[in-house]
Amino acid sequence: MLPFHKILFPVDYSSACEAVIPHVQETACHFAAELTVCHAYVPLAAIAHGELVVTDPELEAKAWALEEDRLRQFACQNFAGQKLQALVELGEPGSVIDRVAQQQRADLIMLATRGHGPVRRFLLGSITAKVLHDVSAAVWTGVGAELAEHPARIPYRSIVCALDDSSEAEAVLRAADAIASAYQAQLWIVHVVATPPAYPDIDIGEHTSQLIEASQSRLRDLKAKVGVDAPHTVIDALLADGIHHEVVRRKADLLVTGRGHSIGTFSRLWSHLYAIIRDSPCPVLSV
């Protein structure tokens, strides 16, 4: 997967989209990757803005020309001097992103999630959700706004890798180690154990200790197999909360996690991925 060779940046001209432009610029330059910016549109948008009328027999061609001109201006303003390809496609954004990613053989898609602050915890754009579910390429999702308590830093200096117990963990750890090496960043590994709910008359302390020790042992074996020398932490907490805590504690600039695609099933991390992305105070790279 690494280094990245072809990056796809879907553009919707929102403030969230504009906020992640510096990350796209840095990533494309850092890996000397080919960059494609794309915009999905429907002619009705131009009609709504009063630029075209629905009865115009050349509606489709004029709408495409308007959108192409707008995207090229966007690319010139934000990626001046950088070689890229600008594509305007008619259709639903999620489907367009999937189609263009396949056509361009993109190995990384970078897009912004919507919302920020307290509200962001309850939001994940439907386009982001569709891309995470459908595409096979790695997906970088940014919060779209800098959080006061966790300012964004690029290039990355601290990276947290969240692992589960699935067979995907090895591939995720290799990816996290590769990107940490590319940036000469400190890598931290976190695993959150799943403990049964507590009952007043049942002491699960011993059971939890056994789960934690078993996870510690698996992580040590996995690190030895992959050849990664990075500190790891095992946390007894709700999955998204535990990962969020570790990201904040390590002042991480990037969170790397899995999506379950490599094992063809829904891993535990995948089932909580939306919550992990919503709650993360830093960008998330899901592989």
pLDDT tens per residue, range 170-201: 999 999 999 999 999 999 999 998 765 655 66
Closest C-alpha to 114, from 93, 137, 96? 93
Mean pLDDT score of the chain:
84
Residue 145: C-alpha distances to residues 19, 121, 140, 152 (Å): 6, 13, 15, 9
User: Is pLDDT at 233 greater than 80 in this prediction?
Assistant: yes
Judged by DSSP in three states, 238 sits in coil
Give the C-alpha separation, 80 to 57, whole Å.
36
pLDDT at 211: 87
Q: Which parts of the chain fold into alpha helices (H)? A: 15-19, 21-30, 43-48, 59-78, 93-104, 117-120, 126-134, 169-183, 205-226, 239-249, 268-271, 273-279
DSSP-derived secondary structure letter, 202: B
- Of residues 66 and 78, more confidence is placed in 78
The rounded Cα 246 to chain-centroid distance in angstroms is 17
pLDDT at 112: 85
Share of the chain above pLDDT 70, in %: 79
- Do residues 100 and 254 lie in contact, with contact meaning Cβ atoms separated by under 8 Å? no
pLDDT at 125: 63
pLDDT at 224: 97
- Do residues 193 and 215 lie in contact, with contact meaning Cβ atoms separated by under 8 Å? yes
- Indicate the residue type of 85: Q
The rounded Cα 119 to chain-centroid distance in angstroms is 19
User: Is pLDDT at 266 greater than 60 in this prediction?
Assistant: no
Q: What is the pTM of this model?
A: 0.87
Please name the residues in contact with 63: beta carbons below 8 A apart, sequence gap of 6 or more.
Answer: 41, 43, 45, 46, 52
User: Is pLDDT at 14 greater than 70 in this prediction?
Assistant: yes
pLDDT at 132: 87
Domains of the chain with CATH codes? 1-145 (3.40.50.620), 151-287 (3.40.50.620)
Least confident of 167-181, 211-225, 252-266: 252-266
- Do residues 173 and 228 lie in contact, with contact meaning Cβ atoms separated by under 8 Å? yes
Judged by DSSP in three states, 130 sits in helix
